[in-house]
């Protein structure tokens, strides 16, 4: 019987709308709007009625009738205000029928009147009034009464309008509904902002995620548990409470979480870590409680918290207080994940690209039992990802996605998706019906190097750039342990005036000393070529110097590739206080050792520069031939470079 009730409850929840309906009834903000509108209408109506009533008490008479009444002594007093004259009769005045309708009010007579003076000044009026003993009162000209009332009410109207605007804005920011119904956002602020996706709407599957086979294998166990928990509980196994997905941006962490929900066919609650925090204290913890309550009511379910490092950083290491709003939110997450019962099939999947800053209490077993690392895809995976994103893109027969994958080492899944889209945009701008290899090449160059700059360089500057890039390209071909050369160009792209492109043949995870030394030598080829040809150097080698200095320092301080320093690690990775690390770090070596490190770095860079200069002097004819070809063609591919090297003999042997 209990099982039938549980099935009925779950079936009812599955049929519900993906997002819980807002409570019915008019919220406090809407009620105040109705009250303010009623008061405003009542005030305007009352003022209008008073004005009309006051005007109705005075009978309008012509200026001639007014002077006649003065001459007969029937005017007691008058008030002069601009062109208008108001006054009171001694005895009720009964206007003749043509001037006033025959009503009860006409029969009773009027005790007060109003009239308007003619534009031409009447010099006899004041003497006549004084002669008849009429009381005279003069007033300054004032604005019309309705204008005065409007100016009086304008500040209140502006204040009311501001509160209405601020209320609407706060409601939108805090997740409230429209103005017609539902509670105001201020009173709904503690509700979870997690977006619920029903199992019928989770269309992503593991087939849509190319690569990351190890990650998918680990997550499939969770899917199997959510589908058939009895198979595991019979063996005494418990479902992992949390899975932490880590890896560089764009490697598919969010897509993998959605695919897990789609495979398991369970409700999926998605929220970003920053959405827990508001300006009010306690809101984050309240939203955590509300989100976990919704997930437990919908169990089995998956909660996905993206960018959890925004709320899960190590406690007590920031510059703020030790018990801020972020820490309250983190404490509530820890409490909720500890409170899961074995029968509550709720799995928390979180994603971050900074696992090193997370609080140890969050990543311990029992909360996030599994940590899955996602890396940029390998060559085969890149080819599959390109195929997935190119399903709807018409490709020319010449396009070889395997070749494109080989030349996109280090690209993430998001980068590859962007590459396909940029190639399609390139083809559209060129009025093509299909995407060609040229479109992929240009799209790749745009993503890696920047957009092409349409500018004209001075001839002398262009010559220096040509020899600079030729120095890089020539050493890349002459040295044994460098990555294969793809092309060299002097077309400005992004911030670079010229580029020498090399693509590794294999996915490198380890670097030997000879490879690193040849890489430093090749990077110094541009500076060495300028020195050989022009006798001086320019600032065009600034980025090259940054690169070689970093590699040489890593060789000495981290990789133990210096005999004088030995197999030691000196210094650690620099961390930032705002990422949950200490403000200061101790220096673990002496000043003498620091000087020896600097000397070794300088020695490595200087030796490789001398080697580069020597190689280029021995191959000066090849250097000049390649530079002249660059000046003529601007872009020279690998095949053309090798042809030039074969046709142009060196001036001496090279080592």
Annotated binding site: 247-254, 468, 472, 544
CA 513-518-524 angle, to 5 degrees, is 130
Cα separations (Å) of 560 from 539, 555, 564, 598, 607? 31, 6, 10, 14, 18
Asked whether the beta carbons of 561 and 516 are under 8 A apart, the reply is yes
Q: How far apart are CA 636 and CA 631, in angstroms?
A: 10
Spatial CA neighbour of 190 closest among 264, 287, 334: 287
Q: How far apart are CA 199 and CA 260, in angstroms?
A: 11
Structure tokens at 382: 């890149």
Asked whether the beta carbons of 499 and 636 are under 8 A apart, the reply is no
Q: How far apart are CA 378 and CA 410, in angstroms?
A: 8
10 Å Cβ neighbour count for 94? Answer: 13
Strand ranges of the sheet holding 499-502, from the earlier edge strand across to the other edge: 499-502, 485-489, 635-637
Q: How far apart are CA 654 and CA 438, in angstroms?
A: 36
Helical H segments across 344-458, by residue range: 360-363, 379-389, 401-406, 413-429, 437-449
Residue bearing tokens 């077309």: 491
Strand partners of residue 115: 85
Q: Is 454 a catalytic residue?
A: no
Q: How far apart are CA 474 and CA 468, in angstroms?
A: 10
Structure tokens at 526: 């541009």
Q: How far apart are CA 258 and CA 205, in angstroms?
A: 8
Q: Kindly tell me the number of DSSP H helices and DSSP E strands found in the chain.
A: 23, 14
Cα separations (Å) of 417 from 109, 172, 440? 91, 33, 12
Asked whether the beta carbons of 333 and 350 are under 8 A apart, the reply is no
Helix (H, G, I), strand (E, B) or coil at 394: coil
Q: How far apart are CA 443 and CA 345, in angstroms?
A: 45
Annotated binding site for ATP: 247-254
Residue bearing tokens 């409601």: 171
Asked whether the beta carbons of 512 and 497 are under 8 A apart, the reply is no
Asked whether the beta carbons of 216 and 207 are under 8 A apart, the reply is no
Kindly state the helix (H) or strand (E) to which residue 268 belongs, with its residue range.
Answer: strand 268-272
10 Å Cβ neighbour count for 375? Answer: 17
Alpha carbon of residue 48 to chain centroid? 52
The conformation of residue 245, written as its DSSP 8-state character, comes to E
Q: How far apart are CA 473 and CA 526, in angstroms?
A: 9
10 Å Cβ neighbour count for 393? Answer: 15
Residue bearing tokens 């519900």: 16
* Active-site option among 307, 327, 469, 609: 469
Asked whether the beta carbons of 622 and 645 are under 8 A apart, the reply is yes
Q: Which residues are catalytic?
A: 469
């Amino acid at each position: 019987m209990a099982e039938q009730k549980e099935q009925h409850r779950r079936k009812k929840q599955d049929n519900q709308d993906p997002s819980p309906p807002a409570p019915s009834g008019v919220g406090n903000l809407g009620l105040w709007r109705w009250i303010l509108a009623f008061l405003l209408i009542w005030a305007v109506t009352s003022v209008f009625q008073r004005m009309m009533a006051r005007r109705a008490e005075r009978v309008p008479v012509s200026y001639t009738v007014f002077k006649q009444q003065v001459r007969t002594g029937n005017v007691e007093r008058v008030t002069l205000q601009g062109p208008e004259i108001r006054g009171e009769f001694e005895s009720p005045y009964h206007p003749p029928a043509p001037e006033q309708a025959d009503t009860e009010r006409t029969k009773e007579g009027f005790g007060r009147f109003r009239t308007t003076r003619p534009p031409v000044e009447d010099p006899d009026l004041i003497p006549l009034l004084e002669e008849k003993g009429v009381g005279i009162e003069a007033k300054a000209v004032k604005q019309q009464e309705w204008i005065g009332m409007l100016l009086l009410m304008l500040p209140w109207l502006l204040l009311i309008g501001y509160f209405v605007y601020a209320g609407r804005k706060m409601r939108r920011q805090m997740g409230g509904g429209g103005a017609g119904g539902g509670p105001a956002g201020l009173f709904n602020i503690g509700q979870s902002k997690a977006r619920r996706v029903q199992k019928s709407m989770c269309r992503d599957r593991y087939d849509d995620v190319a690569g990351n086979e190890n990650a998918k294998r680990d997550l499939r166990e969770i899917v199997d548990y959510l589908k058939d928990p009895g198979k595991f509980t019979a063996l005494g196994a418990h479902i992992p409470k949390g899975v932490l997905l880590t890896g560089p941006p764009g490697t598919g962490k969010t897509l993998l979480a959605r695919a897990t929900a789609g495979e398991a066919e369970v409700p999926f609650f998605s929220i970003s870590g920053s959405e827990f925090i508001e300006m009010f204290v306690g809101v984050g913890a309240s939203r955590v409680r509300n989100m976990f309550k919704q997930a437990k009511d919908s169990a089995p379910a998956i909660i996905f918290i993206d960018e959890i490092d925004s709320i899960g950083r190590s406690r007590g290491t920031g510059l703020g207080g030790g018990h801020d709003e972020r820490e309250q939110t983190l404490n509530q997450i820890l409490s909720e994940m500890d409170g899961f019962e074995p029968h509550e099939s709720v799995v928390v999947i979180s994603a971050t690209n900074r696992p090193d800053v997370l609080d140890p209490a969050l990543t311990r077993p029992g909360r996030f039992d599994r940590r899955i690392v996602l890396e940029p895809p390998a060559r085969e995976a890149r080819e599959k990802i390109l195929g997935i994103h190119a399903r709807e893109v018409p490709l020319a027969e010449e396009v070889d996605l395997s070749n494109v994958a080989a030349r996109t080492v280090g690209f993430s899944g998001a980068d590859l998706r962007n590459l396909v889209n940029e190639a399609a945009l390139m083809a559209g701008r060129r009025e093509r019906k299909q995407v060609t290899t040229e479109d992929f090449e240009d799209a790749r160059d745009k993503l890696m190097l920047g957009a092409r700059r349409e500018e004209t360089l001075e001839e002398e500057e262009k010559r220096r750039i040509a020899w600079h890039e030729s120095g890089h390209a020539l050493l890349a071909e002459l040295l044994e342990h460098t990555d294969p050369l793809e092309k060299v160009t002097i077309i400005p792209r992004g911030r670079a005036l010229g580029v020498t492109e090399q693509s590794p043949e294999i996915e490198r995870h380890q670097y030997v000393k000879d490879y690193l030394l040849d890489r430093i030598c090749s990077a110094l080829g541009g500076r060495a070529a300028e020195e050989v040809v022009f006798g001086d150097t320019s600032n065009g080698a600034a980025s090259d110097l940054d690169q070689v200095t970093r590699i040489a320092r890593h060789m000495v301080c981290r990789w133990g590739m210096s005999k004088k320093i030995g197999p030691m690690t000196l210094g650690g990775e620099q961390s930032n206080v705002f990422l949950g690390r200490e403000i200061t770090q101790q220096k673990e070596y002496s000043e003498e050792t620091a000087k020896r490190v600097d000397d070794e770095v300088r020695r490595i860079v200087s030796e490789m520069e001398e080697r580069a200069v020597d190689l280029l002097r021995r191959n000066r004819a090849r250097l000049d031939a390649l530079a002249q070809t660059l000046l003529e063609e601007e872009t020279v591919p690998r095949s053309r470079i090798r042809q030039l090297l074969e046709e142009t003999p060196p001036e001496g042997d090279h080592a």
